[in-house]
Amino acid sequence: MAPITIASGWPIEARRSLLAGIALIGAVSLIALLAPWLGDPYYQDFATGLSPAGLPLGPNHTHPLGTDSLGRDVLARVALAGRVSLSIGILAALLSLALGATVGMMAGFYGGFLEALLMRLTDIGLALPTTLAGLAMTALLPAGLLRPVVIITLLFWAYPARLVYNETLRMRRRGFVEAAVAMGEARYRILLRHILPHLKTLLLTYAPMNAAAAVMMEATLSYLGAGVPLPTPSWGNMIGEGQGALAFAPHLFLAPAAFLLLTTLGFLLIAEGFKQAHSRGIRFSWLAL
Amino acid sequence: MARFIGARAFQGLVTLLGLVVLAFLVQFVIPGDPVRMLAPRTPTEEVAQRIRAQLGLDRPWWEQLGRYLTRIAQGDLGESYVRRQPVARLILGRLPATAALALAGVLAEILLGFPVGVAMALSPHLRRWLSGLNLVLLSLPTFVIGLSLLLAMGFWLRLLPTTGGTGLRELILPALTLGLAGTPWYAGVIRDRLEESLGSSYIRMAVAKGLPNRWILVRHCFPHVLPAVVTMAGMDFSAYLSGVVVVETIFGWPGIGSLAVQAMQTLDRPVVMGTVLVGGAAVILLNGVVDMLRMFLDPRAREGIG
């Protein structure tokens, strides 16, 4: 087998973080992809899926992660929830990043009235109390799987917009942009050919962090009953359902929580890898310890 | 200084007004009829009309907004549709619980984040383990941290109560939840500022003078870190004062956050508006206080104002 060539020129620590993150996301995605073969997530087995006292079963041979209070297989539900939570999280992360980057670039590059308008909107977006605003938006939008995507996009776009705006402002004053302007190149071409490539590192580092935050936000909304509508499982609403059984069936909380943790940790490790690859390492200290 | 405070106060009032108007208008877009939530059974059209007239809901939106603004200018936040109590009293009743949780949460963040940040800056060996820990804490949404603590401390170790209440023992878990969720952010900022300071020329000077390490840290490094911590703590405190929705829900803590969520579910407009108003005012007021405090702590920020 050929040696792994991902990020081979990077510092060892950065590469280790990146590969660990990719491995985690890969493992979770694999289980999510295998969902149809892991059992029926909706089948309520009251005959053999519950203990004689009618309580959820713990992990056993037929149900590797146990069953929930309706006798449904937790592994099958967690896997299907992985499909739901991962696709919502990644989609919302990409949409908010694309929207934010576009707003930030336009505001930073074109300036004037557009800049004032877009950046005031960004300020409002940054000032929103995330959870409460998410709940309020839930009341405004029709229920469905796309609702959390729209809500998370609306809650998240302002953060990358502010970052990209600052970076674009710095780029604007650089010589190569001024030269391109002097040579009479079209505005949109300067934006796409000269400025966008310089934002690559920023966007690549921000994208996985954004994905982690989006997956967490989806879980929070679903936990509060404002995200993925039941009976479709998502990690958040599974935790919400399992909360009442914390005393006697903690696996109903631990199983989805573990998958959630592995996913966000994976994304953050990837981001950490990018960060370490571009940082200057530990700073110098005069204090000898 | 007085001019600066005046300008900030005016700016704050304008922001608050904008917030109130925006929140008021959003409620007209939200589908759902408050009258239907109020009436015990589905009311006849005549009854519904009478309730609407009583609450002033039959007027056009600009008139309702005008009336609302006039009333809050007189200090009257209106009366809850659902609970038939003055909104101001409802919120004031919840305020001590929320304030206690906010204060305890910020304290926990500082008490946990400060040592972690300092250890990360000073010891390359501890740094690896602590940044791993930080990464895990960052990967957990607040409600998962809260439920894990509830499971571990309440159900497994049976150290702390698992049901709601407002006592000191009931405060520990929600405060610890906020503290653990905030730790990686505080540790990161404290580590960055401390490293900045450790490489600076005034520390070289202090080392050259032969001052002991501990003295250098406490007298020369920490003052550089302090303004950043105060800023973060102030922002968190004000944000928590407007209600810590998730944590209050998990631990059954009777604060403003759970009040806001209930009010939103029952379309209790005056209460929703009241919590928005009080939360917004808290954020704006405390951010002003934090700016003052930072000027007091950081001579460089003082120069910015004439």
Q: Which domains does chain A have, with CATH numbers?
A: 58-279 (1.10.3720.10)
* Class of domain B88-302 as given by CATH: mainly alpha
* B253 CA: distance to closest CA in chain A (Å): 16
| Chain A residues touching residue B143 (CB < 8 angstroms) | 219-220, 223, 239
User: Is pLDDT of B42 > 80?
Assistant: no
Q: What is the pLDDT of residue B302?
A: 67
Which residue reads 């009235």 in tokens?
A113
What are residue A216's phi and psi, to 5 degrees?
-65, -40
Q: Which of A96-100, A177-181, B191-195, B223-227 has the highest mean pLDDT?
A: A96-100
Q: What is the pLDDT of residues B184-230, one digit of tens each?
A: 999 989 988 988 888 888 888 888 888 888 888 888 888 888 888 88
User: Is pLDDT of B259 > 80?
Assistant: yes
What's the pLDDT band for A26 if we cut at 50, 70, 90? Answer: very high
User: Is pLDDT of B166 > 70?
Assistant: no
User: Is pLDDT of A2 > 60?
Assistant: no
Top residue of B120, B136, B144, B203 to mutate, by most chain A CBs within 10 Å, is B144
Q: What is the pLDDT of residue B84?
A: 77
Token output for B94? 């919840």
Q: Which of A136, A212, A283 is facing B264, going by the closest CB pair? A: A136
Which residue type sits at A257? A
User: Is pLDDT of A267 > 90?
Assistant: yes
Q: Which of B63-77, B130-144, B254-268 has the highest mean pLDDT?
A: B130-144
Distance from the first to the final alpha carbon of chain A: 46
Contact assignment for A283 to B198 by CB distance below 8 Å: yes
Q: What is the pLDDT of residue B217?
A: 87
Pick B290 or A205 by higher pLDDT: A205
Q: Which of A126-130, A188-192, B124-128, B134-138 has the lowest mean pLDDT?
A: A126-130
Q: Mean pLDDT, chain B, as a whole number?
A: 80
What's the pLDDT band for B180 if we cut at 50, 70, 90? Answer: very high
| Chain A residues touching residue B31 (CB < 8 angstroms) | 139-140
**Could you tell me which residues come within 8 angstroms of residue B261 by beta carbon, excluding any fewer than 6 positions away?**
A135, A224, B245, B249
* B207 CA: distance to closest CA in chain A (Å): 7
Say if residues B237 and B106 touch (Cβ distance below 8 Å).
yes
| Chain A residues touching residue B249 (CB < 8 angstroms) | 224
Q: What is the pLDDT of residue B306?
A: 39
User: Is pLDDT of A124 > 80?
Assistant: no
User: Is pLDDT of B74 > 60?
Assistant: yes
Residue A217: how many CA atoms within 13 Å on its side-chain side?
Answer: 30
What's the pLDDT band for A282 if we cut at 50, 70, 90? Answer: low
**Residues of A engaging B, defined by a Cβ cutoff of 8 Å:** 129, 131-132, 135-136, 139-140, 212, 216-217, 219-220, 223-224, 239, 243, 246-247, 250, 253-254, 257, 260-261, 264-265, 268-269, 272, 282-289
Residues of chain B with CATH 1.10.3720.10: 88-302
Contact assignment for A289 to B242 by CB distance below 8 Å: no
Q: What mean pLDDT is predicted for residues B126-148?
A: 89
Q: Mean pLDDT, chain A, as a whole number?
A: 83
C-alpha–C-alpha distance, residues B22 and B28, integer Å: 10
Say if residues A80 and A41 touch (Cβ distance below 8 Å).
yes
How far is CA B196 from its chain centroid?
A: 29
User: Is pLDDT of A71 > 60?
Assistant: yes
Q: What is the DSSP string of B162-185?
A: -S---SHHHHHHHHHHHHHHHHHH
Percentage of chain B beyond pLDDT 90 is 9
Q: What is the pLDDT of residue B37?
A: 64
What's the pLDDT band for A112 if we cut at 50, 70, 90? Answer: confident
Helices (DSSP H) in chain B: which residue ranges? 2-29, 34-38, 45-55, 61-73, 87-122, 124-139, 142-149, 168-198, 201-209, 213-215, 222-241, 245-250, 256-265, 269-297, 299-303
Q: Is B139 on the interface with A (CB under 8 A)?
A: yes
Pick A212 or B82 by higher pLDDT: A212
